[in-house]
């Protein structure tokens, strides 16, 4: 059966997974990242903490594919909301992911476009989008969820003008710091993926305070959806 690689960027995002896994093997370290193999609700999983940002996420994703034979990659964690319909705690399931900080506009490229590359907006896998959507419809009783574009960059966004740009011009539902790197590596390796994010903040002037307050609760919500997904995959 397929091994599912599950990535979080921070301890809060993977702690409940590590608690829930059984038959855990001794962690294996590759490229400075610790990977834990085991079973979760009867499925083979490898869980790891990538660290923050696109380079860490890219390294981790490639190791999951090459060293652990992951046949699919899921990300679980938190993000800043861009779509005004989203409140703290709400969920975004990636339809696709794009790097919002890729900027070759002086050369005539739109923001987010990587020159000389066929794809800059990496589509998530329809089967796993549907799995996540069905999980949300079962699990998300008090919170909204939507399927939308995830924007990733190596910056913590805490500015409502930036939010306006990322939402209105770049069509982002939420902003975080890893999804597009995972999406690009998965695309390059023909491995399906989906990113799941619960909103910890609104990426505005209060984002730092809200992030500190709501990251644990939002991480738990994302975990609960992953747990439902794994039971139905």
* Site for ligand ADE, rule CB under 6 A: 78-80, 156-158, 175-177, 200-201, 203, 207, 211
* 8 A C-beta contact, residue 54 and residue 185: no
Least distance in angstroms from the C-beta of 52 to ligand ADE:
8
Give the bridge partners for 7, in sequence order. 48, 75
User: Of the two residues 56 and 200, which places its CB atom closer to ligand ADE in the complex?
Assistant: 200
The answer for residues whose C-beta is within 8 angstroms of residue 81's C-beta and 6 or more apart is 87, 88, 90, 92, 173, 174, 199, 201, 202, 203
User: Of the two residues 133 and 176, which places its CB atom closer to ligand ADE in the complex?
Assistant: 176
Spatial separation of the C-alpha atoms in residues 69 and 119, rounded to whole Å: 24
* DSSP 8-state code for residue 217: H
Residue nearest to ligand ADE (CB): 80
Least distance in angstroms from the C-beta of 217 to ligand ADE:
13
* 8 A C-beta contact, residue 75 and residue 93: no
Q: Which helix (H) or strand (E) holds 145?
A: strand 145-152
User: Of the two residues 68 and 167, which places its CB atom closer to ligand ADE in the complex?
Assistant: 167
- Does the annotation count 13 as an active-site position? yes
- The active-site residue, picked from 12, 13, 121, 224, is 13
Least distance in angstroms from the C-beta of 70 to ligand ADE:
23
- The active-site residue, picked from 90, 133, 176, 201, is 201
- Does the annotation count 227 as an active-site position? no
Q: Which residues are catalytic?
A: 13, 201
């Amino acid at each position: 059966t397929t091994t599912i690689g599950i990535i979080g960027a921070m301890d809060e995002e993977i702690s409940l997974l590590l608690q829930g896994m059984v038959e855990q093997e001794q962690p294996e370290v590759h490229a400075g990242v610790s990977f834990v193999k085991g079973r979760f609700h009867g499925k083979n999983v490898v869980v790891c903490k990538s660290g923050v940002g696109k380079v860490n996420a890219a390294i981790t994703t490639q190791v999951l594919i090459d060293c652990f034979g992951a046949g699919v990659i899921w990300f679980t964690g938190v993000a800043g909301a861009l779509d005004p319909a989203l409140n703290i705690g709400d969920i975004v399931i990636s339809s696709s992911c794009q790097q919002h900080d890729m900027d070759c506009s002086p050369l005539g490229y739109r923001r987010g476009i990587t020159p000389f590359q066929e794809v800059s907006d990496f589509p998530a896998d329809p089967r796993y989008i549907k799995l996540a959507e069905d999980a949300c419809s079962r699990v998300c009783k008090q919170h909204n969820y939507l399927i939308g574009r995830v924007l990733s960059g190596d910056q913590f966004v805490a500015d409502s003008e930036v939010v306006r740009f990322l939402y209105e011009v770049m069509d982002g539902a939420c902003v975080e710091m890893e999804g597009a790197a995972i999406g690009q590596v998965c695309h390059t390796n023909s491995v399906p993926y989906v990113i799941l994010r619960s909103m910890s903040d609104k990426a505005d002037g209060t984002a730092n305070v809200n992030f500190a307050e709501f990251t644990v609760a939002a991480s738990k919500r994302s975990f609960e959806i992953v747990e439902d997904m794994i039971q139905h995959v």
